[in-house]
């Protein structure tokens, strides 16, 4: 039995070692399962991050497109603003020309009024002179009639005295 004891002891040690190895294997399996679960979680998290990255890229592209549209709209509005400024300047120039023309027409009107007043005065003077000539003509006609009448009397008296 003495010989069996070391063998038994060795078997028991081997069984103890097997149990210990079995326990370590079970612990390693549990640890591998935990690592596998962490790996699966990491893969799921990586897929979520990849999806979020794709969504962020899509959103970034959409924002870039909106930015490009905003820039295009801004350029169009700037062009419209430039056209409005040019049109405003053209209208101001036309207004200035119209004001200058209006002032010239006003001066011409004032000159025409002054000339009309001068012509009216000249007409009034001519009418007054015409009336004066008419009165003088009437007076001359009266004098001529009187002179003719006196001549006739003289002639009649001279004829009567010669007879």
Q: What is the pLDDT of residue 138?
A: 92
CA distance linking residue 87 with residue 95, whole number of Å = 12
pLDDT in tens, 15-66: 989 999 999 999 999 999 999 999 999 999 999 999 999 999 999 999 999 9
Can you say how many angstroms the Cα of residue 100 is from the centroid of all Cα atoms in its chain?
A: 27
How many C-beta atoms lie closer than 10 Å to residue 34's C-beta? 10
Q: Tell me whether residue 46 is exposed, middle or buried, using C-beta atoms within 10 angstroms of its C-beta: 0 to 12, 13 to 18, 19 or more.
A: exposed
Q: What are the residue ranges of helices labelled H in the chain?
A: 4-162
DSSP state of 163: -
Least confident of 7-11, 72-76, 78-82, 129-133: 7-11
Tell me the C-alpha distance between 148 and 140, whole Å: 12
Percent over 90 (pLDDT), the chain: 77
Q: Rounded to an integer, what distance in angstroms lies between the CA atom of residue 124 and that of residue 90?
A: 49
The full 3-state SS of 40-57, as one line of letters, equals: HHHHHHHHHHHHHHHHHH
3-state helix, strand, coil in the chain (%, to 5): 100, 0, 0
Q: Is the dihedral of CA 62, 68, 71, 77 positive or negative?
A: negative
* Confidence check: pLDDT of 163 > 70: no
What is d(CA 67, CA 61) in angstroms, rounded to the nearest whole number?
10
Q: How far apart are CA 82 and CA 89, in angstroms?
A: 10
Asked if pLDDT for residue 114 goes beyond 60, the answer is yes
């Amino acid at each position: 039995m003495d010989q069996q004891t070391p063998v038994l002891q060795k078997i028991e040690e081997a069984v103890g070692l097997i149990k210990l190895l079995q326990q370590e294997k079970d612990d390693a399996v549990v640890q591998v399962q935990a690592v596998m679960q962490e790996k699966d979680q990491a893969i799921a998290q990586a897929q979520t991050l990849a999806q979020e990255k794709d969504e962020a890229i899509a959103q970034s592209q959409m924002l870039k497109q909106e930015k490009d549209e905003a820039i295009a709209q801004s350029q169009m509005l700037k062009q419209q603003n430039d056209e409005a400024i040019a049109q405003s300047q053209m209208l101001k120039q036309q207004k200035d020309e119209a004001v200058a023309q209006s002032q010239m027409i006003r001066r011409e009107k004032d000159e025409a009024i002054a000339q009309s007043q001068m012509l009216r005065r000249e007409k009034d003077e001519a009418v007054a002179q015409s009336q004066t000539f008419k009165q003088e003509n009437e007076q001359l006609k009266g004098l001529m009639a009187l002179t003719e009448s006196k001549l006739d009397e003289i002639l009649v008296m001279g004829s009567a005295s010669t007879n």
